[in-house]
Amino acid sequence: MKNYYYGLLFLMAVFCIWFVPLYIPYGGVTSDSVHYFRLAEQIPHVTWSIFPLGYPLLLKFFHLFNGDWFWTGKLSGIIIYIVIAAFSYLKKFHFRETIILLMTKIFFYSFFNIISEGLFLALMYFLFYYLYQFFEGNRKGVRFYIPAAILVAIMFSVRYSAVYLLVGMGLFYLWWFVKRRKEINFFRNDYFLFLLYSAVGIGVYMIFNYLNFGDFAGEKYRAKPYMTGIGEDFFRNVVSVFNSFNPVLGIKLQGHSPMVFAVESVLMVINLIFIYFSVKIWRQYFRKNEGSFHQLLIVMGLVYTFFSFITIFFQGIEELNIRLLAESSICYFFSLIFICFKEKRYEKPLFWLAAFSLIFNSLYVLKVPENYLKKKNEIEKIYSTMKGKKYYFIDDKDHVRIETYRIPIINKEVKYEHQNMNEAMVNGSIMMTKDPKVFWILKDTVKQKREVVYSSQLRQK
């Protein structure tokens, strides 16, 4: 298929990334989005470091041209998405493959929401470009290891988990050196220098954190793991690990009901089908090619998955999902898509799968469409009458949003609570996006009640 069709598909994706979130009840603004806005507003006087400063710095820059944090997040995301495609086209770096990659669920999830993953995935894409050029013999010396190491250091400033990728690249190097020990010196080759300078860059940022915040990677602010829920979520975390090979579907359900278990079991079967084809493609390719670059991506993806899974037992993070395993997914998708196009296999099916991913993921997040901008305007108008607020507290937790869905064929109704679409959470995120200095509190222990915004005050009468 001609580049024209891929360009058209990309333009459709840009349209969806810009407009679809405007009709999601929460507008793509998550609790983490508010944290990023708060950090960005505090720069250069940041006093805490649970999140690294790379993404907030980007938001701070775009905020210079726009005084609204919501539109700042939207603008930065759409520019990042366009830059990836423009780089591929101008550099003649596998444009069609890149467009297919941009149609996968991890990019839609990252750019429908205002989160750091979009920037991180873009940096990973550029890192892959340099690694690909290195293994193809097109970049050597400082033209390779300096820009590549800088990218790794910047990635760590966006997400601390970048260190997992560095560990994966280091483990690959040990294996790669054993294969080629007669050809290269362990300490005197470009790849080793890339790893060394990458580690130095990460180390510099960690020292910066320690000197300014008293910790290396926000460990002082991390919550303890919820050990009571780890057993219940174990199956779902395993499903998520397998789901990292699925380029389209990444459905996340709340609770542990029989219906949820049934849906996730079906998803597991679909995931296994994608894994089967992935292994088949890799095996056939490696029979004919050394494929060091693709072997590197596989190792990076698996190592990242392993450490992400282990992290659950040491930190109070959410269960594994599209977001937490996006870095593993891009390793697999990048490799598989590039191999398929190089081998001239599955090109048309991949295009139509990409088109389906665009349509499905856009409609999936629009399952409960609402005009976010109208809600945003209403809440900001109410909040504009309030002065001196520092805290936000949900005082009407029983007011939840339950949606009813009818399953085709079996004609069964399922009631489901969308926690991130509950009015108190949506209203609170809008209010705190307008004024990031306001903190969300879980207990109403503030003595000066006039400093607290209660969710019932923002609720529309």
Asked if the model's pLDDT at residue 461 lies above 60, the reply is no
pLDDT at 182: 78
Cβ-contact 117, 109 below 8 angstroms: yes
Tokens of 240: 């998520």
Rounded to 10 deg, the angle between the 162-179 and 190-213 helix axes is: 160
pLDDT at 317: 73
Alpha carbon distance 252, 263 (integer Å)? 10
Output the average pLDDT for the chain.
Answer: 90
pLDDT at 371: 95
Asked if the model's pLDDT at residue 91 lies above 90, the reply is yes
State pTM to two decimals.
0.94
Most confident of 95-99, 227-231, 403-407: 95-99
Count H helices and E strands in the chain, helices first. 18, 5
Determine which of 223-227, 231-235, 244-248 has the lowest per-residue pLDDT on average.
223-227
Secondary structure letter of residue 220 according to DSSP: G
Q: Which residues touch 119 (CB under 8 Å, ≥6 apart)?
A: 54, 55, 58, 76, 80, 158
pLDDT at 314: 79
Instruction: Check residues 227 and 68 and name the one with the higher pLDDT.
Output: 68
Cβ-contact 21, 372 below 8 angstroms: yes
Determine which of 57-66, 252-261, 373-382 has the lowest per-residue pLDDT on average.
252-261
